[in-house]
Amino acid sequence: MGLVQTASNSSYRYHDAHLELDFIRKDASLDSHRLVLTRKEYELLALLVENAGEIIPRQILLMRVWGYSNEIRTRTLDVHIRRLRKKLGQYSEQYIETIFGIGYRFQPFRMTQRFPTGMSASPMAVGA
Amino acid sequence: MGLVQTASNSSYRYHDAHLELDFIRKDASLDSHRLVLTRKEYELLALLVENAGEIIPRQILLMRVWGYSNEIRTRTLDVHIRRLRKKLGQYSEQYIETIFGIGYRFQPFRMTQRFPTGMSASPMAVGA
DNA sequence: CCCGGTTTTTACAAAATTTTTACAACACGG
DNA sequence: CCGTGTTGTAAAAATTTTGTAAAAACCGGG
């Protein structure tokens, strides 16, 4: 339940209606079409997916994927998020949420759109 | 199923539409034309073929074929891959994939080209 | 020894990936 | 609204990894 598990209780793969990850083979597919991800892209996605539903602070992401200790100012995380989103195509908005001022959160796919009009609510939700 | 089996469950030979290996006789042929491979070339190809479909990290290849422990920097693996590819001729691209930042993967021949245009995506896909 | 074939190293070129930069757009408290 | 800080984005720069040719080193038989 803690934030960013230390790799134990996790199953070796994730899947929902569209996305599938195999944490052993270290690959992913979207609508059963293989996603070509670079190493960093995969690691970032995997970390988010392993903690689906939980907000992961930038600090933690930078620490776990890049080994950066705090106090490093970089935009590389944002750039990687962007590239991931691009590869997630039409689902990117649903999958990767930005939590302003904190970090990012992966959200499993949900069939039920809250508002069918497409004009979804702002992708944030949070508090420090 | 594990990566780089310890030589047990494997059958004594491999073959697909074009390539054939006999792990006992230790020879190979391409379109029923004998491939003349040096020892290292054969061992490298055999290791890849025995684990067809699986990514084999450079480290493992260097360990198993050369007996190199980690932390050895050498380009000899690349050179051998190149020579193997040359000998695999027109099929080399299909057979031996480069997994950027990780290693190589042998892929059994497939009749069905995913994209007839040839302009395939970059040959990578991966993780740590 | 010397030779022919094999293997490894060297030295760059090319390709792929990652990071930085620079600025636009957005969020939010006051 | 305004100001400040955060995130989005494209494009350039830097870094890392792989491809390749050619030279050097190695090795076993004659």
pLDDT (tens digit, 9 = 90+) per residue, B1-39?
444 544 444 689 999 999 999 999 999 999 999 999 999
Helix (H, G, I), strand (E, B) or coil at B64: helix
Q: Are the Cβ atoms of B125 and A46 closer than 8 angstroms?
A: no
Cα–Cα dist A22/A12, whole Å: 6
pLDDT in tens, B79-122: 999 999 999 999 998 999 999 999 999 999 986 544 332 223 33
The Cα–Cα gap between A104 and B98 comes to 32
Residues 87-126 of B with CB under 7 A from strand D: 98-103
Chain A: nearest CA to B64, how far in angstroms?
A: 21
A58 touches strand D (CB under 7 A): yes
A45 contacts: CB under 8 Å, gap ≥ 6: A21, A28, A37, A84, A106
Choose among A34, A43, A46: nearest Cβ to B125. Answer: A34
Question: Would you place residue A30 in the very low, low, confident or very high pLDDT band (cuts 50, 70, 90)?
Answer: very high
A128: the nucleotide nearest its CA (via C1') is C28
Strand order in the sheet with B19-22: B13-15, B19-22, B27-30, B33-35
pLDDT, mean of residues B35-56: 96
Q: Is the dihedral of CA A109, A111, A112, A114 positive or negative?
A: positive
- For A95, counting Cβ atoms within 10 Å of its Cβ (0-12 exposed, 13-18 middle, 19+ buried), the class is buried
pLDDT band at B72 (very low <50, low <70, confident <90, very high): confident
Nearest CA in chain B to A43: B127
Which residues in A7-16 are b (16+ Cβ under 10 Å) and which e? eeeeeeebeb
| pLDDT higher than 50, residue A80 | yes
Residue type, A117: T
Nearest nucleotide relative to A85: CA against C1':
D8
Is residue A43 scored above 50 in pLDDT?
yes
Residue nearest to nucleotide D16 (CA to C1'): B101
- What's the burial of A75, exposed, middle or buried (CB within 10 Å: 0-12/13-18/19+)? exposed
Number of CB atoms found within 10 A of residue A26's CB: 18
At residue B70, the pLDDT reads 73
Class of residue A59 by CB neighbours under 10 A (exposed 0-12, middle 13-18, buried 19+): middle
Higher pLDDT, B21 or B124: B21
Task: Judge: A36–B125 Cβ closer than 8 Å, yes or no.
Answer: yes
Give the list of residues 6+ apart from residue A31 with CB closer than 8 angstroms, or none.
A18
A38 to B124: CB separation less than 8 angstroms, yes or no: yes
B33/B88 Cα distance (integer angstroms): 11
Listed as ranges, the nucleotides of chain C within 7 A of a protein C-beta are 5-12, 15-23, 27-28
pLDDT, residue B124, reads: 37
Instruction: Please state whether strand C lies within 7 Å of residue B120 at its CB atom.
Output: no
Cα separation, B60 vs A29, whole angstroms: 26
